[in-house]
Structure 1
């Protein structure tokens, strides 16, 4: 097995150029998702589909266009996980888009 010396590898790396540009020309919008535990399985919910989130004690009801999910989770944790510019907490029990 060949041995590599740190001084040897540093001189080889000086001539290398980065493959990727430092700043991309086009930025892809990042897709945010929530992972909710529903009936002993995890469900991925895209935050673009969420219409509102309702809290009843320690449970969340996440309402989308076609369905809703109930998960044992506090609304304060969901509020931290959601993109702040897109969602607003209007009551201690409701977050809306």
Structure 2
């Protein structure tokens, strides 16, 4: 089991307001948090649990951005030689499919 630690984090007025909004079931913030994390919070959820859910949402957003940046770097590294190879593979597959379709 992972070690759990507690951190002291200062909260500004915007974070405090977000905490209040997330705890109400009929708010866009509450629905969005559930969509991102799958964590359901309501009026009875402790402030610590809500903060943990928001932290998890941030962690997931960062992971998603890391993957997005990685895919962008991969696409940027994709050169003309790669595109020519892929076109040749597609053409070869199309020729095979046409021979099979023709009964060869």
> What's the TM-score, normalizing by structure 2?
0.23
The structure, 1 or 2, with the larger RCO (C-alpha pairs under 8 Å, 6+ apart) is 1
Counting strand residues as a fraction of each chain, which structure ranks higher?
Answer: 1
